[in-house]
Structure 1
Amino acid sequence: MKIADPTQTTLLNELKLMLGELPLDGASVLELGCGKADKTRSLAETGRVRNIVALEVDLIQHARNLAAPALPNVEFRQGGAEAIPAADNSFDIVLMFKSLHHVPVEQMDQALKEIARVLKPGGLAWISEPVYAGDFNDILRLFHDEKVVREKAFAAVSHAVEQGLLGLEKQYFFNTRSQFDDFEQFDARMIRVTHSNHQLSPELYQQVRAQFTAHLTPEGATFLNPQRVDLLRKP
Structure 2
Amino acid sequence: MSLLSTDPAKALVAKPVDALIEFLGSGNGRLLDIGCGEGVLSDTLSQQGYTVTGIDPLVGSGASAWRVRASAGAVPLASDSFDIAVFHWSLHHVPEESMSAALAEAQRVLTGAGRLFVIEPEPVGSWQEVSQPFHDETEVQAKAAKAVDKVVSASALTRRRQYYLSEDCYNSFDEFVESMMSYAYNRYTEDQIRQQRVRDAFESHHEGDIFRLQHRIRMEEICPSANN
Name the TM tier (shorter chain): 0.7 to 0.9
Cα–Cα, structure 1 residues 208 and 79, in superposed 2: closer, same or farther, change >3 Å? same
Map of 1:39 onto structure 2 = 41
Partner SS state of residue 130, structure 2: helix
| Unaligned runs of at least 5 residues, structure 1 | none
Shift of 1:135: 1.2
1:134 aligns with 2:125: yes
Greater mean alpha carbon deviation, residues 153-162 or residues 6-15: 6-15
Partner SS state of residue 116, structure 2: strand
In the aligned structure 1, how far is the partner of 2:179 from the partner of 2:194?
Answer: 17
Partner SS state of residue 119, structure 2: strand
Contact 1:56/1:80 (<8 A) preserved: yes
Contact 1:143/1:200 (<8 A) preserved: no
Greater mean alpha carbon deviation, residues 29-38 or residues 218-227: 218-227
Shift of 1:113: 0.7
5 Å matches for 1:141-220? 141-164=132-155, 167-199=157-189, 201=191, 205-220=195-210
Shift of 1:204: 5.9
Greater mean alpha carbon deviation, residues 197-206 or residues 180-189: 197-206
Map of 1:104 onto structure 2 = 95
Cα–Cα, structure 1 residues 156 and 202, in superposed 2: closer, same or farther, change >3 Å? closer
| Unaligned runs of at least 5 residues, structure 2 | 1-5
User: Which residue type is aligned with residue 193 of structure 1?
Assistant: Y
Contact 1:116/1:234 (<8 A) preserved: no
Cα–Cα, structure 1 residues 10 and 27, in superposed 2: closer, same or farther, change >3 Å? same
Contact 1:119/1:234 (<8 A) preserved: no
Greater mean alpha carbon deviation, residues 36-45 or residues 110-119: 36-45
User: Which residue type is aligned with residue 34 of structure 1?
Assistant: C
In the aligned structure 2, how far is the partner of 1:223 from the partner of 1:203?
Answer: 15
Partner SS state of residue 77, structure 1: strand
Cα–Cα, structure 1 residues 181 and 159, in superposed 2: closer, same or farther, change >3 Å? same
Deviations 1:10-37 (A, max 9, x none): 2233422332343544401100111232
What percent of counterpart residues are identical?
A: 25
Shift of 1:203: 9.1
Alignment RMSD (CA, Å): 2.3
Which residue of the other structure, out of 3, 8, 11, is the alignment partner of 1:9?
11
Map of 1:227 onto structure 2 = 217
Normalised by the length of structure 2, the TM-score is 0.87
Normalised by the length of structure 1, the TM-score is 0.84
Map of 2:113 onto structure 1 = 122
Cα–Cα, structure 1 residues 234 and 78, in superposed 2: closer, same or farther, change >3 Å? farther
In the aligned structure 2, how far is the partner of 1:203 from the partner of 1:19?
Answer: 32
